[in-house]
Chain A
Amino acid sequence: MNFQIATLLGQDGLTNGAIYALLALSILLVFTVTRILLIPLGEFVTFGALTMAAMQMGKAPNIEWLLLGLALIDCALDLYQYLKHRAESKKLKVIALKLSYVAIMIGLLNQLPLSEIPMALQVVLTLCLIVPIGPIMYRLFFQPLAEAPALVLLIVSIALHVSMVGIGLLLFGPEGARTEPFSDSNFRLGSVMLKSQTLWVILVSIVLIVTLFIAFERTLYGKALRATAVNRMGARLQGISPIFAGKATFALAAFIGSASGILIAPITTLYYDSGFIISLKGFVGAIIGGLVSYPLAAFGAIAVGMIEAFSMFWASSYKEIIVFTLIIPFLIWRSMNSHNVEDEE
């Protein structure tokens, strides 16, 4: 291995690591606030990437039908509750808003010349399509289970993952896709060649992480979510709605997931079922962070990316094995530090 190769591998590692870090952060966020391990996060990644790809090929992405279907079920439930409880008429307005949002999205997708509009607009459209799926998913599948044991939440999460992979196949087909890079230019730093997409990924990741940090430290809503993470019951008694907290974290997770997908789509070919392995690597990072510490998780995720890149060079067929056995030392460390016997639930 010479310096040239090392820098290339390092770039790859850093790019992947940044994505894993983003995913690890949203896994932690969802877990601490709702106790749910969001296994389907990977599907948001693939949905984001494949939606972008469909747009660039000039097709209206089929995900609009998923959004429409979920929104209709959601609104039907809203309506049922409104009729049953005679709630305030605000609810009807919300239903109307939701439906018109979906209608506008579908209209835009079918009217705009998708492959010709600027890439930034494609990104915005993709995010607008996918992010609402997060909160609807929470509302339909997890909200009724808020008090359920951890095992039930985990199973539902896995089952949703299985379903969403199937839906991915239905919506995007079995072919893999790769999107155009954000910009074509490459940079040269001394003797090192920097790929522009790498810079994009790292830049956007840093911006996202810093924004999240500020949002959680400085804004009221961010603080509400943090309060829920620290003490669910206590936050509830302070008037923070657990439903709001759940929907908000799921929206954030859907956003981060699909954004990650958009970011890596120009680098790797993604298939409808590629998301799982990607999100699992985020999980490895989150486990390294002990499922509580954000900086440790981000650090762990970047380490995962680096190790993956370098093992690709030395032992490419053992890449996945190396990455997933990476958590064993951390599990040992955990089990040595865990208290003797704890009763769970």
Chain B
Amino acid sequence: MKSRYLIIIGLVVLAFAPQVLPTFQVALLNYIGLYALVVLGLVLLTGVGGMTSFGQAAFVGLGAYSTAYLTTTEQLPGWLAWSAGSPWIGLLIGLILTAAVALFLGALTLKLSGHYLPLGTIAWGISLYYLFGTMSSMGGHTGISGLPSLSLFGVVLDKGEKIYYLIWAILMFAVWVTSNLLNSREGRAIRALKGGQLMAESMGVNTFRSKMIIFLISALFAGISGWLYAHTQRFVNPTPFGLSMGIDYLFMALIGGVGSVWGALLGAGILTMLKQWLQDWLPLIMGGDGQYEAIVLGLLIVFMMHRSPGGIWPLLVKLAPASWRNQNHLKIAPSAKSLTRRDLPEKGQLILEACNVTRRFGGLVANNQMNLQLHAGEILALIGPNGAGKSTMFNQLSAVDTPSDGEVLFLDQSLKGKTSREVAHMGMSRTFQHVKLLTTMTVLENVALGTHMRGNKGIISSALHAERTEEQRLLKEAEYQLERVGLGDHLYTEAGSLSLGQQRILEIARALCADPCVLLLDEPAAGLRHKEKQALAELLKKLKKEGLAILLVEHDMDFVMNLADRIVVMEFGEKIAEGLPEEIQTNPAVLEAYLGGAE
């Protein structure tokens, strides 16, 4: 726990800094704190969620202008008159406004993929900036001056050394809240946004909701920063809320390390100091009074992107001795109660049924009039040569894709129009042919993502870590499933460092964590060694005995023949045979499909 001591030392240093540093340095520290708060939101948004925003400065502006308008305007419109003069009401209204704007912009832009999102943020960032400059009630380009100082418990925070404590206290609280959030059930869903959205949806995560949450949080952090800024400066004008500041915020995040909360502090600190230093020295070297620091900064960022796209924080972590590094394992209390399980359907009951499913891609018929039934307590194998349409069929069954004709019934309900998330909530769980893991998260965290639907504590209790009992129960379930599949020794290993076979097994543990009544496995035995295959077969048999319905798509004939109760064989998108393993082995149509005709 050395990192905890480091944090305490850091806090002590922070507490005494204004007593010993000259006013100018304290002002710089204030700026660093204000910037870091915005950058923290960007770490959440860009580093964790994979969404790039150049528009954060506009949110800072919303926070700053709201309080500036409310605290300085002599005669507010009637419906706002009650709020005049108090910065705290200014904060509240600013945050409500920021949240409303963020909700609106988020609803518009967050569903966009790829480059539309950053371009969209540039567009609304610019629009809001010009809006600040053109509205005459906001002082136009000259801005608003004469804002009151904040006062807290009777102390007037009218000097840099005083408001310093408020800024840094809020920042530290934000860091605490953010790391709590990331280390929770909701946080795992958020961390899955980058590269695991398809998988997360099939584990019952509403990815759009997760995106919106971090977008809102980052906007609110920016709004608070703007409020603090306005009352520190006691003056606002549009300049610090323009696009170039939005770019600077993103640069800070990238310099510090966009993947870690401490990267936000580091990046804000480095960029602020560097700018200061360059502004002091460059004119001496180059002559003139131009803003040449932009040239150096830009090139520096380019250099960083070439050499260390992850930022400086990861480099520091690498430099630190191994014993210092965060050994902060998730602890699982043995006393945690296990989760309640759903009632499984009775054995033999029909669970999943494909009725005349046809799927066409243009002229290609990938599935033609496919019928199959899966019952509780049964293992059904779907086999066929390459290109037979098994994967397409698998997609129809798991609601990833919708049939062109016919329908799939799951527990007597049609899957038409249902998303994979809804199907997951109904009790279907699956693995992927191409393993979908979050490679930098631990095995335990990956599997715990599977328990997402079994918890219900929300963002606020996650952020305050008020959901620890539930979290313990979820983690215990994940640990139990991992032990069950034989990965009990690898709880804290990075998932990406497992062998491919182990990764497939991990996916099964994750699927089991969702407490399903039907399990769809896409080539679970591929890449497994002989012993591992045997263990997997044992596990699947045990699950079958418990009453689960299991469907597997598989190539390994030995594995299938010894395990499956019934087998469906496909070729050219159609079912050519169905029956017990012995029947299939001697079925002439199957032999021809696999070995070619006798002629």
Considering only residues 317-345 of chain A, those with a C-beta below 8 Å from chain B are 317-318, 320-321, 324-325, 327-328, 331-332, 334-335, 338, 340-345
The 8 A-B residue pairs with the shortest CB-CB distance, nearest first, are: A163-B298, A166-B294, A166-B295, A159-B301, A162-B298, A335-B111, A317-B134, A159-B298
Give chain B residues whose Cβ lies under 8 Å from the Cβ of A154.
Answer: 52, 115, 118
> What residues on B are CB-neighbors of A327 within 8 Å?
119-120, 123
Most B CB contacts (10 A, CB to CB) among A144, A152, A158 go to A158
A334 to B207, CA, bound (A): 18
Query: A156 and B419 in contact (CB under 8 A), knowing A343-B195, A344-B114?
Result: no
Given contacts A144-B306, A335-B112, contact A324 B197 (CB under 8 A): no
* Cross-chain contact of A148 among B120, B122, B309 (Cβ < 8 A): B309
Contacts of A174 in B (CB 8 A): 290
Interface string of B261-283 (1 = CB under 8 A from A): 00000000000000000000000
Residues 239-256 of A at the B interface (beta carbon under 8 Å): none
**Shortest Cβ distance from B300 into A: residue:** A159
- Within 124-156 of A, Cβ neighbours of B (below 8 Å) are at 141, 144-145, 148, 150-152, 154-156
B298 near A338: Cβ-Cβ < 8 Å = no
Q: Is the CB of B112 within 8 A of A151?
A: no
A151-186 to B contact mask, C-beta < 8 Å, 1/0: 110111011111111110110001000000000000
Residue from the list B111, B292, B296 in contact with A338, Cβ < 8 A: B111
State whether B108 touches A332 (Cβ < 8 A). yes
Is A21 part of the contact surface with B, judged by Cβ < 8 Å?
no
Q: What are 21 of the A-B contact pairs (CB < 8 Å)?
A: A145-B305, A148-B305, A154-B115, A154-B118, A155-B250, A155-B254, A155-B301, A159-B297, A160-B302, A162-B297, A162-B298, A163-B295, A163-B298, A163-B302, A166-B295, A170-B295, A324-B127, A325-B123, A331-B112, A335-B111, A342-B197
How many of A's residues come within 8 Å of B, CB to CB? 49
9-residue interface stretch from A9-17, A196-204, A224-232, A279-287: A279-287
Assess whether B123 is in contact with A152, with CB atoms less than 8 Å apart. no
Please tell me which one of the listed residues B134, B292, B302 contacts residue A159 in the complex, with CB atoms under 8 A apart: B302
Whether B290 and A344, one on each chain, are in contact in the complex, defined by CB atoms closer than 8 angstroms, is no
B299 within 8 A of A: yes
Instruction: Given the known inter-chain contacts A283-B119, A344-B113, please indicate yes or no for A320 contacting B302, CB distance below 8 A.
Output: no
Interface string of A2-38 (1 = CB under 8 A from B): 0000000000000000000000000000010000010
Tell me, yes or no, whether B215 is within 8 Å of chain A by CB: no
Q: Quick check: B126 and A320 within 8 Å, CB to CB? A: yes
CB distance from B468 to the nearest CB of A (A): 30
> In the complex, which residues of chain B have a beta carbon less than 8 angstroms from the beta carbon of A158?
54, 247, 250
Kindly report which residue of chain B lies nearest to residue A328, judged by CB atoms: B108
Closest Cβ of chain B to A305, distance in Å, is 17
Let me know if A37 and B295 touch, CB within 8 A: no
A-contact bits for B306-327, CB 8 A (1 contact / 0 none): 1001000000000000000000
Q: Contact: B116 with A320, CB < 8 Å? A: no
A129, B450: Cα distance in complex, Å? 59
Tell whether B201 is near chain A: CB-to-CB under 8 Å: yes
Q: Does A291 contact B (CB under 8 A)?
A: yes
Taking Cβ atoms with an 8 Å cutoff, the residues of A that contact B are: 31, 37, 141, 144-145, 148, 150-152, 154-156, 158-167, 169-170, 174, 280, 283-284, 287, 291, 317-318, 320-321, 324-325, 327-328, 331-332, 334-335, 338, 340-345
B302 touches A156 (CB 8 A): yes
Contact B198 A343, beta carbon cutoff 8 Å? yes
Are A152 and B290 in contact (CB-based, < 8 A)?
A: no
Contact A342 B113 (CB under 8 A): yes
Closest A residue to B120 by beta carbon equals A331
Number of A-B contacts (CB under 8 A): 139
> Does any Cβ of A come within 8 Å of B456's Cβ?
no
Give the docked Cα–Cα distance between A280 and B244 (Å). Answer: 13
A287-B116, A331-B120 given; A166·B291 CB < 8 A: yes
B126 contacts A324, C-beta separation under 8 Å: yes
Given A155-B254, A335-B109: A37 and B305 within 8 A (CB)? Answer: no
Q: Does B501 contact A (CB under 8 A)?
A: no
Q: Are B197 and A335 in contact (CB under 8 A)?
A: no
**B50 interface hit (Cβ, 8 Å):** yes
Contacts of B52 in A (CB 8 A): 151, 154
B294 touches A165 (CB 8 A): yes
Residue of B nearest to A290 (CB): B116
Mark contacts of B165-196 with chain A using CB atoms, 8 A cut-off: 1 yes-contact digit, 0 otherwise: 00000000000000000000000000000011
Nearest A residue to B297 via CB reads: A162
Q: Mark B81-94, 1 if CB is under 8 A from A, else 0.
A: 00000000000000
A290 CB, min distance to chain B CBs, angstroms: 9
* Nearest chain A CB to B106 CB, angstrom units: 11
Determine how close the nearest CB of chain A comes to the CB of B466; give it in whole angstroms: 30
- In the complex, how many angstroms separate the beta carbon of A39 from the nearest chain B beta carbon? 9
Cα-based distance from A335 to B106 in the complex (angstroms): 11
- Known contacts A155-B301, A156-B305; 20 further A-B pairs (Cβ under 8 A): A150-B115, A158-B54, A159-B298, A159-B299, A159-B305, A166-B291, A174-B290, A280-B122, A291-B115, A321-B131, A321-B134, A324-B130, A325-B124, A328-B123, A331-B120, A332-B108, A334-B112, A335-B108, A340-B419, A342-B197
* Distance of A313 from chain B, by nearest CB (Å): 16
Question: Closest approach, in angstroms, between the C-beta of B211 and any C-beta of chain A?
Answer: 11
B251 within 8 A of A: yes
Name A152's contact: one of B113, B251, B309 (CB within 8 Å). Answer: B309
Which residue of chain B is the closest to A173 with respect to CB atoms? B290
The 8 Å CB contact of B247, one of A162, A287, A320, is A162
Q: Does B286 contact A (CB under 8 A)?
A: yes
Closest to A320 in B: B130
Known: A163-B294, A335-B112. A341 touches B197 (CB 8 A): yes
- Bound-state CA distance A155–B52 (Å) is 10
A334 touches B116 (CB 8 A): yes
B-side contacts of A161, CB under 8 Å = 298
Asked if A166 contacts B115 (CB within 8 A), the reply is: no
Q: Does the CB pair B127–A331 fall under 8 Å? A: no
Residues of B within 8 A of A141 (CB): 302
Residues of chain B lying within 8 A (CB to CB) of residue A342: 113, 197-198
User: Chain B 43-68, CB within 8 Å of chain A: the 1/0 string?
Assistant: 00010001010100000000000000
State how many angstroms separate the Cβ of B111 from the closest Cβ of chain A: 4
Query: Which single residue of chain A is at the shortest CB-CB distance from B51?
Result: A151
A154-B115, A320-B126, A344-B114 known; A145-B306 Cβ under 8 A:
yes
Q: Is the CB of B302 within 8 A of A344?
A: no
Say yes or no: B108 contacts A331, CB within 8 Å.
yes
Taking the nearest CB of chain A, how far is it from the CB of B139, in angstroms? 14
Query: Would you call B290 and A169 a contact (CB within 8 A)?
Result: yes
